[in-house]
């Protein structure tokens, strides 16, 4: 197995672990992304665009989740004061109570995980991933395959 294949498997395993957490919360990835983003945002509000960019989700997917949450009374839409085309998502009181449970449980699980992993290894992990991505980008830019 090549290093690149092993990296892919490791990344897939991390994704599987996170998806297991999200499933345990009773959500799918997109639903989690919307609730977590809103719960962790200032004033419990953000834009659909922000969620799409932060979580790498298609606009239509985020729109559908937001529509679902609006129908059950967890969010309301308001116009942006800056850009009238942009809609701000706001958690309702009921939405806040739902999203806060998700945010708190995820924060606790994350803190316990990284505390168990250790501060030194956590810092090292993120530094190494950052360095690896930088090197990959450099190699991609230097490779001329497909460029005529």
Residue 91 lies in a domain: yes
**Cα–Cα distance measured from residue 30 to residue 22, given in angstroms and rounded to the nearest whole number:** 10
- Residue 16 is assigned to a structural domain of this protein: yes
- Give the pLDDT mean for 79-99: 88
Q: Answer yes or no: is 36 within a domain.
A: yes
- Segment among 19-23, 34-38, 104-108, 144-148 with least mean pLDDT: 144-148
Give the per-residue pLDDT at 148: 53
Q: Is residue 63 part of a domain?
A: yes
Model confidence over 34-59: pLDDT tens digits?
999 999 998 889 999 999 999 999 99
pLDDT score for 81: 79
Task: Please give the full DSSP string across the chain, using - where no structure is assigned.
Answer: --HHHHHHHHHHHHHHHHHHHHHHTT--HHHHHHHHHHHHSGGGEEEHHHHHHHHT--HHHHHHHHHHHHHTTSEEEEE-SS-TT-EEEEE-HHHHHHHHHHHHHHHHHHHHHHHHH-HHHHHHHHHHHHHHHHHHHHHHHH--TT--
How many domains is the chain built from?
1
CB-CB contact of 74 with 95 (8 Å): yes
Q: Does residue 78 lie within any of the structural domains?
A: yes
44 is in which domain, residue-wise?
3-116
Q: Is residue 132 part of a domain?
A: no
What global pTM score does this model have?
0.86
CATH number assigned to the domain comprising residue 101: 1.10.10.10
With respect to residue 134, please indicate whether it lies within any of the assigned structural domains. Answer: no
Whether 104 is in a domain gets the answer yes
């Amino acid at each position: 197995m090549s290093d690149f294949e092993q990296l892919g498997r490791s990344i897939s395993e991390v994704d599987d672990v996170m998806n297991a957490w999200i499933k345990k919360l009773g959500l799918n990835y997109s639903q989690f992304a919307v609730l977590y983003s809103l719960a962790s945002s200032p004033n419990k509000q953000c834009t659909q665009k922000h969620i799409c960019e932060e979580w790498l989700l298609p606009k239509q997917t985020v729109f559908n989740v937001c529509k679902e949450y609006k129908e059950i009374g967890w969010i309301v839409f308001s116009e942006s004061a800056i850009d009238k085309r942009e809609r701000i998502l706001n958690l309702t009181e009921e939405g806040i109570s739902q999203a806060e449970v998700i945010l708190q449980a995820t924060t606790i699980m994350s803190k316990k995980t990284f505390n168990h992993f250790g501060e030194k290894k956590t810092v090292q992990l993120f530094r190494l991933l950052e360095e690896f991505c930088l090197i990959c980008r450099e190699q991609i830019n230097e490779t001329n395959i497909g460029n005529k």
